[in-house]
Amino acid sequence: MESIQIRRHFSRNILLRMLLLGAATAALLYWKLDFINDIYFRDQITPTGLIINGTILALFVLGMLRIIGILLSYSLEERSLIQFMRNLRDKVDPIYEISEGRMIARRYRTLEVLSNANTPINHNALATTLVASESTRNSLPKFINNTLILTGVFGTIVSLSIALIGASDLLASAVNVNGMGVIIHGMSTALSTTITAIVSYIFFGYFYMKLTDVQTNLISGIEQITATHLMPRFQIQTESVLFEFSGLIRSLQSLISKMEASQSSFQNLANEMQNSQSNIESLEQCISNAVNKVYDDRIHPIAQEMNDIKKLLRDGFRLHEEP
């Protein structure tokens, strides 16, 4: 499965990174606790700063909790995707030990249902549906990401308005020292809300961006597996049929060539056997001629001489010829 380009355990790594950055931020806040106390809590004439900063932090915490929940869910999805690839490699049931609610299991079941119903499978439609479905999970983090910086701007405007009210009171009465305190309070509140909004926006925006990266990585892995392993299994396309048919034709051509070569070999063997039979007959004829020649040249004269000797003996001993 090396052909599948996916970053494994991406969600878990982002969660660990979030934990480390959160711990570093908490340590920094503890180190600068006096500075935080001076800006946010000391000499607050109105609760405006606490309300606006509390609202920003509430939105921030709500969004971070939602991001953590989605990342934990995607971590399980990545684990299921890795298990699915392992099952394909081991040639077992692809969804073995995978929950039916996982995205890769739902995709496999969808393709299985469409294939059993002999329905054409539109991979682009499936991919678009999955992207749209997962995009809805990011609606709350996206809303908070767009709202955080606006809350900071809103807090700054409100705080400056408070400062202007204090300046107006100061100008109206030269002896009213409360106006100067309101001005300082308004500027301090503007500073605190701006710092809170900027820090929250940077921290939240970074992990919101990583959330979209995790989502893209997961969906990309699912679509790669669908295109390379599931589509060839569940759908027979015209191009695939033509490719298989051309491969079959090439195999038949190779088989015919081998059969022609075998037939030629058998023909050559038959010719060689026929030539061998002719050579054997020629050898038999030669042997027969040689035997006849030996008989005529050697054995027949000896037999004739033996008859002559027998006749001489018979004549010499005056023996009668045998009837």
How far is it, in rounded angstroms, from Cα 260 to Cα 315? 80
**Does some domain include residue 88?**
yes
**Does some domain include residue 72?**
yes
Neighbours of 198 (CB within 10 A): 13
User: Which pLDDT does position 117 carry in this prediction?
Assistant: 79
**Does some domain include residue 317?**
no
| Inter-CA distances, 178 with 42, 59, 240, 252, Å | 16, 33, 84, 101
**DSSP string over 202-219:** HHHHHHHHHHHHHHHHHH
User: Which pLDDT does position 180 carry in this prediction?
Assistant: 57
User: Which pLDDT does position 320 carry in this prediction?
Assistant: 57
Neighbours of 9 (CB within 10 A): 13
Q: Which residue range is the domain that position 51 belongs to?
A: 10-235
How far is it, in rounded angstroms, from Cα 143 to Cα 67? 12
| Inter-CA distances, 14 with 131, 182, 206, Å | 21, 44, 11
Domain count, the chain: 1
**Cβ proximity of 6 and 224 under 8 Å:** yes
Neighbours of 29 (CB within 10 A): 11
**Cβ proximity of 182 and 166 under 8 Å:** yes
- Residue 228: how many CA atoms within 13 Å on its side-chain side? 14
How far is it, in rounded angstroms, from Cα 304 to Cα 293? 16
For residue 16, give every residue at least 6 positions away whose Cβ sits within 8 Å of its Cβ, in sequence order, or none.
none
Amino acid letter for position 230: L
pTM exceeds 0.75: no
- Give SS3 for 142: helix
Query: Which alpha helices (DSSP H) does the chain contain, by range?
Result: 10-31, 33-40, 48-90, 103-116, 123-135, 139-172, 178-225, 231-234, 238-294, 300-316
**Does some domain include residue 224?**
yes
Q: Which residues of the chain have pLDDT under 70?
A: 1-5, 38-39, 41-46, 159-188, 236-247, 294-301, 303-305, 308, 310-311, 313-323
**Cβ proximity of 64 and 204 under 8 Å:** yes
Neighbours of 97 (CB within 10 A): 11
**Does some domain include residue 197?**
yes
Which residue spans within the chain are E strands per DSSP? none
Q: In angstroms, how far is CA 249 from the centroid of its own chain?
A: 32
User: Which pLDDT does position 191 carry in this prediction?
Assistant: 74
For residue 313, give every residue at least 6 positions away whose Cβ sits within 8 Å of its Cβ, in sequence order, or none.
319
pLDDT tens digits for 201-238?
999 999 999 999 999 989 888 888 888 888 887 776 55
**Cβ proximity of 68 and 12 under 8 Å:** no
**Does some domain include residue 112?**
yes
User: Counting every residue, how long is the chain?
Assistant: 323
- Give SS3 for 40: helix
**Does some domain include residue 105?**
yes
**Does some domain include residue 261?**
no
**Which position has the token pair 């995790």?**
214
